[in-house]
Amino acid sequence: MDSLDELRAREYARLDQSGEIYLDYTGGSLYAASQLRRHFEELNGHVFGNPHSNNPTSQAMTDRVEATRAHVLRHFNASPDDYLLVFTPNASGALHEIGEAYPFAPGARYLLTFDNHNSVNGIREFARAKGAEVTYSPLTRPDLRVDRAALTAELSRPGSAGGLFAFPAQSNFSGVQHPLELIEEAQAAGWDVLLDAAAFVPTNPLDLSRWKPDLTVLSFYKMFGYPTGIGALLMRRAMFEKFRRPWFAGGTIQIATVQGNSFYRSRDASAFEDGTVDYLSIPAVDYGLSYLESIGIERIRDRVGALTAWLLETMTSLKHENGRPLVTVHGPTTREARGATIAFNLLDAEGRGFDIRGVEARANEARLSLRTGCFCNPGAGETAYGLSAEQIGGFFHDPDGMTFDELRGKIRVRYGLEVGAIRVSTGIASNFADVHVFASFLQRFLNRAATESEFAAPPCDARRPTREGA
């Protein structure tokens, strides 16, 4: 079996050829050269048609789509007797399906942890529109883990009618891995459970025969880079019967009538696949899964775990001449129960924060890909910076809205707080050379003042508002 360094040289040669240091795997993984080659060879050697027909080319594509669907279920050890696999545009598309179809109603609840992606947060708008109660369960500081006592109290609150409980297997902000035992605890208390696995499954095994969330969402590009535009909703069959979609579309029904003013929905996963799936890209999912399986997800997990442990130890050891730390890590500073995502800020010798956009600009010059912002996870960020509901809520009364950088500026002026983080994450193609280069980059900030003009925040261009991504 090839070592991961050999795979790096063969499958990801473009990294070293271009001089790129890629540390944004939580934003999106990188594809292997062999994935592209296998997919393009298949497309070049066959004729595939829209699967919504029985002609030869359509049937060939139907068989290919269904074979990939079965492969995804096998990869996560999900029995087809228990789970349906719905292809979606991405994890956010899967979450939209859930919010739209979940039977929220007065007396029901939507309970979620502070640590959640905005696409999970967004389901609250469906819940509120249908009269359900929305509740957030807090995190503890400084590790940004779920407050288990507070969550248990919410799950078992007397008089609660239950509902939907949502949490991430791994935080896309801090890398914290929340205990999967929460699934069983919530289900025992009468809740349906939504697990956001998007940041977890690229480097960790998820066994759905052991852990049985009612709903699981993910994006394949985060696992193996290519294709983009395809995600998955793994839905237990009991949820299929419970869901009520407010509309139907081509491909989601058995039959519809205009004059009879009625329809019958499909009885399988296609009931949630609006229109035509991205059928020419779906075989690439098959190849991506096969590639991961040929390496072994445990090998990837161990590799990125070792890189992350080295990075955390190195980052927390960096100190200015006066002994003050250069780096503040948001979340755990050890490898225990955490993934390969590190959110942090840089402080000068007086404890003032270097502007995150200035740090990003310096990283860009060094061809080092990292990410800055709140990473579509405001709850974890607000907890990390100690912002209260009163403090943050006071800024959300402007009918014209604001960008993230404008909000950062308002908080800086009013409360003297620097918010927004820098994030690095390792993945399948990362090696020790990458993290060594990054550590050397951080050393450039030692014993420098955060007030120097070269690190000033760039002016905000209202015509090009900053969008906070994954």
Pairing of strands 83-88, 371-373: unpaired
Active-site choice (376, 407, 429, 450): 376
Q: Count CB neighbours of 333 within 10 A.
A: 18
Whole-angstrom distance, CA of residue 26 vs CA of residue 190: 32
Q: How many CA atoms lie within 13 A of 395 on its CB side?
A: 20
- Reading phi first (left if > 0) and then psi (alpha if -120 to 50, else beta), residue 22 is in beta
Burial of 180 (0-12, 13-18, 19+ CB in 10 A): middle
**376 flagged as catalytic:** yes
Pairing of strands 163-168, 109-113: parallel
Give the tokens for residue 155.
């799950």
CA of residue 291 relative to chain centroid, distance:
21
> Are the beta carbons of 155 and 191 closer than 8 angstroms?
yes
Q: Which residue has the tokens 């759905």?
A: 208
DSSP H/E element including 223: helix 221-224
C-alpha pair distances (Å), 252 with each of 66, 215, 256, 318: 16, 19, 10, 56
- Residues marked active site are found at 376
